[in-house]
Amino acid sequence: MKKLAITLTAALLFFSYSTFAMDPENISLKVKAAFEKDFNNAKNVNWKKTDEFYFASFKLNDVDIDAAYNENGELIAASKSIAISALPMQVSLALTEKYKNYALPENVIEFTHGGETNYYITVSNEKRILKLKCNTSGNISVEKKIKK
């Protein structure tokens, strides 16, 4: 349960509007060193800070990535947009089988936290929009349902 709470907190913080832009010179040395080790070839890095976390948005190999670090320089979570065709086979098969009457998007969000990767996918049909969370094994849960 604690792991779920941490994951949800990290996800919410990624999309938080209470962050503020930072001058790269004001980033904690621990965070800066950890980031440079984790993402050595990162380009166009922009930093934001909340009370507890540092957020970096950057490009790595022409891919936009977001990463969250705590004050100790520990990578909490990272996310990026990927093509739906890049999903693991188990996830693709589960989506095709369970949501065959829904339109699938071109891109999904890959979110990694605590060594686990999940995929956030929004599918829709003429009646509703579903926000799904999928793990690498193909297990899918509905995070949110919206009626059209």
Lowest mean pLDDT among 16-20, 72-76, 102-106, 125-129: 16-20
Please name which of 102, 111, 125, 83 lies closest in space to residue 15, comparing C-alpha atoms. 111
Looking up residue 36, the CATH number of its domain turns out to be 3.10.450.360
Residues 58 and 117 in one domain: no
Give residue-wise pLDDT tens across range 132-148: 999 999 999 999 999 99
* Entry pTM: 0.80
Q: Let me know if residue 129 belongs to a domain.
A: yes
Average pLDDT, the chain: 87
Which 3-state string (H, E, C) describes 50-74?
A: CCCEEEEEEEECCEEEEEEEECCCC
What range does the domain containing 137 cover? 87-147
pLDDT the model gives residue 26: 77
Q: Let me know if residue 91 belongs to a domain.
A: yes
Lowest mean pLDDT among 5-14, 87-96, 121-130: 5-14
Looking at the 3D structure of the chain, how many domains does it have? 2
Residues 72 and 13 in one domain: yes
Residues 39 and 10 in one domain: yes
Q: Let me know if residue 82 belongs to a domain.
A: no
Looking up residue 137, the CATH number of its domain turns out to be 3.10.450
Give residue-wise pLDDT tens across range 106-134: 999 999 999 999 999 999 999 999 999 99
Burial readout 5-36 (b: 16 or more C-beta within 10 A, e: otherwise): eebebbbebbeeeebeeeeeeebbeebbebbe
Residues 69 and 14 in one domain: yes
Q: Let me know if residue 34 belongs to a domain.
A: yes
Cβ–Cβ < 8 Å for 46, 57: yes
Scanning the structure block, which residue is given the tokens 């999309």? 15
